[in-house]
A = this chain, B = another copy of it.
């Protein structure tokens, strides 16, 4: 299975990297952009007996390592891969 995890700064947290990319886009002529937030994308290949088991393991990975929950939110989806999609 493949888990696709997105870890992004909470809305109330300053995001200087996003602000820098926002300014860079503006200077390239993309004036229609009103905000940019930058986070991490983590793709995890793992084996699990079921999508539910994979979800619970990936949630634990996020809490223990991938996300700093003080300043970041995370979300993920599990792609069962060769199994048929529900």
Contacts and interface: CB of A to CB of B under 8 A. Distances in A.
A52 interface: no
A32 B57 contact: yes
Interface in A20-57: 21, 24-25, 28, 30, 32-48, 57
Contacts of A57: 30, 32
A35 B81 CA distance: 14
Contacts of A64: 28
Nearest to A49: B32
Nearest to A36: B44
Contact of A33 (B30, B34, B35, B44): B44
A78 interface: no
A36 B45 CA distance: 6
Given A30-B57, A65-B24, A65-B28, A35 B39 contact: no
